[in-house]
C-alpha cells in the first residue's frame, strides 16, 4: 500500500467571473516532500496556493488533506489537519517573546490535544508539534525562546 498523501488535489478549478485562473489542476503532495510550483506572472500560482490552503473556495474539484475532504472549508480546518500556509514576509508579533508567538499560533490553529466539538479528536497531530518547547527544539530555536521576536533574523522569524 502506498503512503497517504498529505494533500491530494483533484481537478481543482478556480474561476473569477469569466476568467479561469486555475484549470482542473491535480497534484499529490507526500509528507516530507519539497515541491516548487513555477509559472509566469498570472499563471495562477497564488490562486492555487489560496485554494489548497482554504483561503479561496475552489469553483470545483476536491481537496483531500490526510484523507479528509476539505474543499470549501476554512483555513483553520486545513491548519487543524496539518496543512498551513506561510507567507514570504514574516508576520511575527515583534514585542512578544519567540515562545509566545508560537503559543499564539498553536492556539489559533487549534493544535491542542483535546476533543473537538465539531470535527472530532485531533489524533493526527504528532506530540512534537503540540507545545512551544518541543516545536522550538524541532526547528532549532530553543536558545531564542525568551527573546522578543523582533530580535531574531527574518528567516528565523519565518
Ligand X SMILES: Nc1ncnc2c1ncn2[C@@H]1O[C@H](COP(=O)(O)OP(=O)(O)O)[C@@H](O)[C@H]1O
Q: Which residues of this protein are in contact with ligand X, per CB under 6 A? A: 16, 19, 21, 39, 41-47
Stretch that binds Mg ion, among 11-19, 45-53, 129-137, 138-146 (CB under 5 A): 45-53
Burial class for 100, CB neighbours closer than 10 Å (0-12, 13-18, 19+): middle
Distances (CA, A) of 104 to 100, 120, 134, 140: 6, 22, 15, 19
Between 4 and 60, CB nearer to ligand X: 60
User: What gap in Å lies between CA 128 and CA 137, rounded to an integer?
Assistant: 9
With CB under 5 to 8 Å by kind, the binding choice for 30 among Mg ion, ligand X, none is: none
Shortest distance, CB of residue 23 to Mg ion, whole angstroms? 16
Identify the bridge partners of residue 12 per DSSP, sorted by sequence position. 25
- Residue 112's binding partner among Mg ion, ligand X, none (Cβ under 5 to 8 angstroms by kind) is none
- Options 46, 131, 134, 157; binder of Mg ion; rule CB under 5 A: 46
Q: Segment contacting Mg ion (CB under 5 A): 15-23, 40-48, 82-90, 138-146?
A: 40-48
- Cα–Cα distance, 23 to 15 (Å, whole number): 8
Amino acid at each position: 500500500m502506498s503512503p497517504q498523501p498529505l494533500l491530494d488535489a483533484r481537478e481543482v478549478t478556480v474561476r473569477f467571473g469569466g476568467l479561469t485562473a486555475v484549470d482542473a489542476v491535480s497534484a499529490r503532495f507526500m509528507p516530507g516532500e519539497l515541491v516548487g510550483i513555477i509559472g509566469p506572472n498570472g499563471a495562477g500560482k497564488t490562486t492555487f496556493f489560496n485554494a489548497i490552503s482554504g483561503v479561496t473556495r475552489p469553483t470545483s474539484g476536491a481537496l483531500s488533506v490526510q484523507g479528509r475532504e476539505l474543499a470549501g472549508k476554512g483555513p483553520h480546518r486545513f491548519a487543524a489537519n496539518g496543512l498551513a500556509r506561510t507567507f514570504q514576509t514574516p508576520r511575527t508579533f515583534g514585542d512578544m517573546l519567540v515562545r509566545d508567538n508560537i503559543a499564539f499560533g498553536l492556539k489559533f490553529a487549534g493544535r491542542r490535544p483535546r476533543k473537538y466539538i465539531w470535527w472530532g479528536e485531533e489524533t493526527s497531530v504528532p506530540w512534537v508539534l503540540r507545545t512551544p518547547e518541543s516545536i522550538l527544539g524541532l526547528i532549532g530555536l530553543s536558545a531564542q525562546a525568551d527573546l522578543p521576536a523582533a530580535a531574531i533574523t527574518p528567516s528565523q522569524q519565518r
